[in-house]
Amino acid sequence: MSSPFDWSFPYASRKMPVLAANAVATSQPLAAQAGLRMLLAGGNAVDSAIATAIALTVVEPVMNGIGGDMFALVWHEGRLHGLNSSGCAPAAWTPEYFAGRDAMPGTGWGTVTVPGQVAGWKALSERFGKLPFAKLFEPAIAYAEEGFAVSPTIARQWATQAPKLAQEPGFAEAFLPQGRAPQAGEWWRFPAQARTLREIAESGGDSFYHGALAGRIADFAARTGGALSAADLAEHRPEWVAPISQSFRDYELHEIPPNGQGISALMALGMLERFDLESMGRDSADYYHVSIEAMKLAFADLHHHVADPRHMRTDARALLDPAYLAERAKLISMDRAAVPVAGTPASGGTVYLTTADAGGTMVSFIQSNYHGFGSGVVVPDTGISLHNRGLNFVLTPGHANQVAPRKKPMHTIIPAFVTRGGEPVMAFGVMGGSMQAQGHLQMVTRLAAFGQNPQAMSDAPRFRVEKGPVVNVESHLPADVVDTLRQRGHNVAVAAADSLEFGSAQLICRLPQGGYVAASDSRRDGQAVGF
């Protein structure tokens, strides 16, 4: 049945932030409501975050699934806690396993590392949650069993990804049951995913790593050319980690330490601490130029030095050393774009959500299948779509991030948290591959240098740089800024107005006299809710 509507949105629109004592912000409204239900049921922000995350695997399958990784930062009872639940490479992934290739594959079993996400849900619930673990699954199971209407944004992403993945094991049967992606407004049900979520709920996640679900994943891998084994799954353990941080003005930005890319946001921010952004102006060419240059330098170091911390030849402290960042900042010329190279420090497809409750607990949470539906591999009759995080390994002999058995790849998904004077200020994230770290940089500078509110800092025009020379900018960046950047040597590409390549920000900021202001990115169909 064709839709009765034209699903284009030709007119400028805006969102307003939500001010409330309890809040949830994420990229899909149904998932936000799932988190809100847990708060209304007497749960805390951690319960809310987990329920939101589980629901997102159902209602936003193009960006995440049951078979991904997750990270979280949790402010609870006066302290910030970090959780890294990313998985390792299969034991069979020696460099020889990929012999004859110049780069890691982009899809298929050759990209599937151990999914850490389910174990992360359980670890968070055990340590900080108030509600029974199984209760957190109720909204997601209902959406999978009873169905929901697919939103226009998700329908668009689904249709874009489907042709690339249709031939991967299990994908077409799971996500193209009628030979095509669902259209906007079409009702989507996935009973197999509901059954899997119920089994995870009832087993406390154990089935996924040691039980029946683990067996089904490993058996399917063995039948269809994958290396992932039951032993690989059984080895996974979530890791509680100490966050790393960087000061900017009188704020502190906190990130998960490597193997995550959050350190690149901290490095760039440390460089920008040495520039007078305030006098440049918040939307000036100077502000964009110096931010782009700092991010390019940070990314050069990221891609050279950062990997599984057990295999890095330099540590986070060396990369964040003030003297080192001061030297890196000196490489930034205000009148000319540069080609960055990695420095030598002294030796020594994603969903994001944030929640906060009236008791003061705040959660910054991210999970992902990486690119779109991830690897494209879907375990039959389970709804378990597996990520392609192994793509982030390199095959260069001797590189810190070279693929190896039971090794974690450098990871792009990163939650963020801001404090001031040791007190919580903002839980936030900007999902979208390499956009995440540079999105963090742009949010924090707008907060700390210019005092913008969360919705305004989210709505502001963004830039995105990659490893190459091109600087991508949004269409609402003023033309005179674009012209000035080009005059300084930047290869600027102005994206289409409906581009989805600049991430999706979700932010919850604590108000001085109590409560929160929550904002959801206008670039997606997400929602901030509260009470």
Contacts of residue 357, defined as CB under 8 A and 6 or more positions apart, other chains included, come to: 21, 22, 39, 44, 45, 48
Q: Is 350 annotated in the active site?
A: yes
d(CA 503, CA 55): 20
What does the buried/exposed string (b/e) look like for 138-175 if buried means 16 or more CB atoms within 10 Å of the residue's CB?
bbbbebbbeebebbbbbbbbbeebbeebeebbbbbebb
Q: Dump the DSSP string for 350-398.
A: EEEEEEE-TTS-EEEEEEE-SSTTTTS-EETTTTEEBP-GGGG-B--TT
In 3-state terms, what secondary structure has residue 82?
A: strand
The sign of the torsion formed by the CA atoms of 18, 24, 25, 31 equals negative
In 3-state terms, what secondary structure has residue 132?
A: coil
Contacts of residue 527, defined as CB under 8 A and 6 or more positions apart, other chains included, come to: 25, 26, 28, 29, 32, 33, 520
Count of CA atoms in the C-beta half-sphere (13 A) of 523: 24
Q: Which residues pair with 23 in a beta bridge?
A: 356, 530
DSSP H or E run through 199: helix 191-203
Find the catalytic residue in 26, 350, 361, 412: 350
Catalytic residues: 350
